[in-house]
């Protein structure tokens, strides 16, 4: 791995204007966050979605909030109903909203009120290819991402898919926030290495908070 493309998790790191890593931001609430995740997943279990092109995603996903992000042969979209249960997604816990709002404010985006949270579980080998978050109606609000469990290599690209990404090591409790001029930067996750974390076992969990609808 080229050293000029890898940053080994400084505590706070400005990726570019509008994008910042907040080292260990959520670590003090990790057990409560995992308890809340467990309750959500009891109601809306993790599943491996299929892309419009027919590929099964290696990351297992679920949602909570007003709507959930889903993918199938019909495309990527937000849906107020869990397609597997035909019920509304579980409500977003107050703790989730509070941590997301505080992370956004720390990154320079005050008054962030998410209405969707995508829950991802990465087992060893799972990855997420470079992509942009473009399915939201509200494109002014930032994206807030919280990492829990096993470390991961976060890929931070540019405004074009072909831009060479930086590699940022994210560890338990780190938050990444991006918005403003960085809102549509390509980003992803390299395959997660095997390991054991005391709270999550052989897995990394990621919470991605989004404001889908304009106020």
> What are 6-65's pLDDT values in tens digits?
344 446 999 999 999 999 999 999 999 999 999 999 999 999 999 999 999 999 999 999
Ordered by start, the domain boundaries in the chain are 10-210
**Per-residue tokens: 80:** 């107020």
Q: How high is the pLDDT of residue 7? A: 44
- For 59-84, the pLDDT digits (tens) are 999 999 999 999 999 999 999 999 99
Q: How high is the pLDDT of residue 114? A: 98
In CATH, what is the architecture of 10-210? Sandwich (2.60)
**Mean pLDDT over the full length of the chain:** 94
Would residue 57 be called left, alpha or beta, if left means φ above 0 and alpha means ψ between -120 and 50 degrees? Answer: beta
- For 98-123, the pLDDT digits (tens) are 999 999 999 999 999 999 999 999 99
């Amino acid at each position: 791995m080229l050293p000029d493309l890898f940053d080994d998790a400084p505590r706070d790191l400005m990726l570019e204007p509008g994008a910042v890593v907040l080292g260990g931001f959520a670590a003090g609430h990790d057990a409560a966050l995992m308890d809340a995740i467990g309750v959500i997943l009891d109601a809306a279990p993790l599943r491996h979605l299929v892309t419009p092109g027919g590929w099964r995603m290696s990351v297992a996903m679920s949602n909570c909030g007003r709507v959930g992000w889903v993918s199938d042969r019909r495309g990527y979209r937000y849906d107020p109903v869990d397609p597997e249960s035909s019920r509304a997604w579980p409500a977003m816990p107050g703790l989730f909203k509070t941590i997301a709002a505080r992370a956004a404010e720390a990154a320079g985006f005050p008054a962030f009120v998410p209405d969707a949270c995508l829950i991802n579980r990465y087992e060893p080998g799972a990855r997420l290819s470079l992509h942009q978050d473009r399915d939201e109606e509200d494109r002014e609000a930032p994206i807030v991402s919280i990492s829990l469990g096993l470390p991961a290599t976060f890929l931070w690209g540019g405004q074009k898919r072909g831009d060479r990404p930086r590699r940022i090591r994210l560890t338990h409790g780190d938050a990444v926030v991006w918005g403003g001029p960085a809102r549509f930067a390509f980003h992803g996750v390299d395959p997660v290495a095997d390991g054991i974390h005391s709270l999550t076992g052989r897995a990394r969990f990621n919470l991605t908070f989004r404001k889908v609808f304009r106020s």
